[in-house]
Amino acid sequence: MLKSLGNLKNEATLPAIVQLFERADGLVLITALDAVAKIGGETARALVEKALDNSDEEVVKAAIGILTRENDAWVHTHRDKLLNHSHWDVRSTFIKAMVSRLGEKSFPYLRQALQTETDELVKGQIIELMDRVL
């Protein structure tokens, strides 16, 4: 049903999805994120950005994936929170997204992240991405 609502791309369906947003989690919430992303608009964008605060790392990664398709303003707004997220996979996903959106402009933030990153895999990824972009 959620996929169908998203495929309609009609903002009139947003209130129904917003109500679900408050109670959903996991895969249902990820599907709701995809639906609102297809609908678009400010309300949809706000819902996707709100999902960046979700406790489920899969939901956060899905929100990052959706936002990566848009402009890069969200990267700056949520950068510190996502670079310091408790789950390594969220940090990794965000780092890839940030580099894809900002390119070399992400380097100061990547260098700073290297100073505090505790996961060796993520550290290696940062170094590899910086080398690849240059």
Residue-wise pLDDT for 70-113, tens only, equals: 888 999 999 999 999 999 999 999 999 999 999 999 999 999 99
Pick the closest to residue 92 from 66, 61, 116, 67 (CA basis). 61
Query: Among the listed ranges 9-18, 23-32, 48-57, 103-112, which one has the minimum average pLDDT value?
Result: 9-18
- Domains (range + CATH), the chain: 1-70 (1.25.10), 73-134 (no CATH)
What's the whole-number average pLDDT of the chain?
Answer: 92
What would the 3-class secondary structure string for 64-91 be?
Answer: HHHHHCCCCHHHHHHHHHHHCCCCHHHH
